[in-house]
Amino acid sequence: MQRLLVQAVLFDAVGTLFHLRAPVGEIYLEQARRYGFEASDPELPVKLTRSFRAAFRAQGPLAFPDAPVDRIQELERAWWRSVVFRTFAPFGHPPDFENFFEHVFEMFRTGEAWRLDLDVRLVLPALRDKGLKIGLVTNYDSRVLDVLVALGIRSLFDCVTISTLAGAAKPDPRIFAEACAALSSLPSDACHIGDDPEEDWEGARQTGMHAILYDPSARYRDLDVPRLSRLADLLRILL
């Protein structure tokens, strides 16, 4: 991959800079058992993960155009409650579902559910030291700000652009354009890195940005797009 000359670097959050500490089905089942959920199927964690993915896709974009700012957190919580409720629907819900959901929702605000990508503490400071502006563009919700603090990396970002607050979710070019504007950068002078071919790579390209797909497991090896297997490889491309 040839070297890029840019002024700003944008990153996806979940799946790029940080990852779940375990598959979502395992986390949900572990916590659901604390709220009265009983299950003996050894395949249930895998089934819950599949059900979560289907529920997540069916829920639609995590964005609330024209919603008042003071209602965003309420809408985020309702959006996620629907996803979690649908996830458990094929298997039955924890008897104390509402308290279970509140616990899980707050858990994903902390560092307990997440782990940093191995290269983050190397890459982000190195980019900043070279004078590059650093931004985050995420389809997660406003809890991401707490996650960044919990993981010790909030101070490394010049801007954090969140779909629920931007009123548009990736791959909508509007969220990328808002992030570039927050960094006082033209899209053509910025590069976005993320792990989703449509949301991250295609969305950024449609905005006029450079884009690189983060693909550590070579899942998208057949796609003819710039790919990275490690975030540390950015240093030879951008510095």
pLDDT digits (tens, 9 = 90+) for 27-73: 999 999 999 999 999 999 999 999 999 999 999 999 999 999 999 99
Distance CA(222)–CA(129), nearest Å, equals: 34
Peptide bond into 94 cis (omega under 30): no
Residue 2 domain-assigned (yes or no): no
pLDDT digits (tens, 9 = 90+) for 96-139: 999 999 999 999 999 999 999 999 999 999 999 999 999 999 99
Question: Of 112, 141, 160, which residue constitutes the final position of a domain?
Answer: 112
Which of 135, 120, 153 has its CA nearest to residue 12?
Answer: 135
Residue 102 belongs to domain spanning:
20-112
Q: How far is CA 85 from the centre of its chain?
A: 21
Q: Are 146 and 194 members of one domain?
A: yes
Q: What was the pLDDT predicted at 98?
A: 97
| Domain count within the chain | 2
Residue 1 domain-assigned (yes or no): no
Question: Of 112, 146, 166, which residue constitutes the final position of a domain?
Answer: 112
Q: Are 96 and 161 members of one domain?
A: no
Q: Are 125 and 231 members of one domain?
A: yes
CATH code of residue 204: 3.40.50.1000
Question: Of 69, 94, 112, which residue constitutes the final position of a domain?
Answer: 112
> Which of helix, strand or coil describes residue 177?
helix
